[in-house]
Structure 1
Amino acid sequence: MPERQVLIAQLLAIMIDYKQGSIDEPDEAHVERWLAQFDEDVQLDVLRETVHVLEQTYFSKDKVEEIFSGLIYDEDFGDDAAGFWSEACLLDIQQGGNSQSDLVRMFSRLVAEELDEEVSVNSCNATSYFYLDDAVFSGNRLLADVTAWINDSAPRSAELYIVAIAMHSYGKFNVGRRLDQVIAESGKNIRYHWKCVIEFEDRLRYNSDSDVLRPKSAPDNQDVTNYISEMSRAPEYRVGNSRGGHAIFSSAVGRNLIEQQFLIAGAKIRRICPNLPARHRPLGYNSLEMLGFGSMFVTYRNCPNNAPLALWVGDPWYPLFPRSTNADAAVNRLLRW
């Protein structure tokens, strides 16, 4: 079997449960249609590196359930799991999206099946609280949610566990420094703890060792040149040949290839989709003026807008991972009621 077909089969096996039941099951034609948008001479390389990265950064439903099943017996919570969870509380306070609500339902079911215990949700009299989410990117949404909870309904004293599958280092830093101030101003005794499966380095200070897409240079491409010319300052490029702390890229060459090609595709998308908000950078949503966030983290539930535009933007671009928006999530919540 040709390598292209083998790689497509591997990619389909990785993403087989993506938005299962909400979209048509992806097939070879789906991947080929996405690939065809790249120059023919780089399509195989793009496919090869995309498969390699997503093998490590795509989290299926089975994998997520395994992760949250492990949380039940986390050693930090003592030897009496049933006793701990009978007194703990899950927070369902996210102001945008459905990720937290979905994970709260999942985790509640796992605890009930494993321990025959019901975990309370948004209780006011627990001592340990859990903010669950699939990922922390910039941390701004988490900070807004938790700030409102601390000021409005948190008890005078509590342990807060921020649990995410993936953490991005700047988001963790950003939340930490600001949350300390929020807690101090509230006058409450809230102690917070971080728990994650993987932490991706994305801070500009550590650009050379980053785990996200950070190009070493701008490719010779008119769309990219035009995009950069409209920025108020030049991009900060990565130096060196590191594959990042988690080595999610196949090699320095493979990393450079996917960064360059996703940047070219993202700049083209910016041109052909002029109504995209300005913060939707070529390599993903970012409030800072740069080439983009560059996260390659995707779950079975959704593809974050912090990922490169080439992965998720629709019409006239064709996405590998069609994405649901917060507006879609709001409609779905109404329909559940």
Structure 2
Amino acid sequence: MTPIEMHGVQLIGHGGIEKLEYRSDLPVPTPGPEEVQIRVTAAGINNTDINTRIGWYSKAVTADTETGGAEGFDNVDNDDASWSGMPLTFPRIQGADVCGYITAVGANVDPARIGERVLVQALQPVRDGEPFTCITFGSECDGGFAQFTVARSEFTHAINCDWTDAELASVPCAYSTAENMLHRASVGAERVLISGASGGVGSAAVQLCKRRGAHVIAISSAAKADDVRALGADQVIDRNADLVSCLGAMSVDVVIDLVAGPQWPSFLEVLRRGGRYATAGAIAGPITELDVRTLYLKDLSLFGSTYQADEVFPDLVSYIERGEIQPTLSATYPLKDIARAQEDFLAKKHTGKLVLLPPEAAQ
């Protein structure tokens, strides 16, 4: 029998790590008519968790995420401090990455789903909203940093594979973000440059580009170069290198960028004429310089990538089940150690994903 209370972490406001409160008396959520209840067995950590906690999405913030990652920012405007630009509702259980098992279903969901091992789609389209509107699991609704959560059945995907729950929890946000950028930029068997290649999204992008037959040039710290090569990168460039000197102008077809910051203008310089640039992050800083002449004289295409096409997440599930990609799990932590896990995440000494493990729920 499902308990009535659970362990979980509540975000009580924008700010530092102290805004995360671990509790053992949270009510277990019950599924609505179109929802399923999930016993969470693993939940990954993502940049979006940090960004949301510190209010980095607010236009008042112009620094990189690491600057305020532990302590937050003093100049956050709460009215636009979520990724969607709408005020966040507190308290909020974060956690976009969920692997677990369905324990109950709503009135309009087939009871045969009970017992399925599942992944929750992290970016979920709003079906009756404006085009390109979506929510992030763990932002506009409660997510996976707890023993139980609820999610719409439509966005809760059964999965059958030999990966561990922790390995599967490395997938939903990072891999779907990466795959969506490749989908948006129509990446094929061509030369692709990936920034932040040792992080969760970057390491996923390396594998997913190789799956598409691309020649992958990865940007990473020297300390993680071997890890990135092991994921399939054909060439690794130090993140402090001069890209134009290393690669040459007009030398790549696509840039997959998660970093932005001071290096951003060089991404457009190394793109060939007619090249494509896609971004889903700006951890090195969101404010950059653009010489518009470079954009139009080279006929470049720039893609922002958040909203995900319906096929992106089901495709990922199929890649896993067919053994076409591998997990990038770096370490696991008990859920109660979320502060230490986020501190380690911000230190960026790992390759791949960090995952939280909730305590086993009493039955």
Q: TM-score range by the shorter chain?
A: under 0.3
Bigger-Rg structure (1/2) = 1
Which structure is higher in RCO with an 8 Å CA cutoff and minimum separation 6?
2
Larger helix fraction of residues: 1
Larger strand fraction of residues: 2
TM-score by length of 2: 0.26
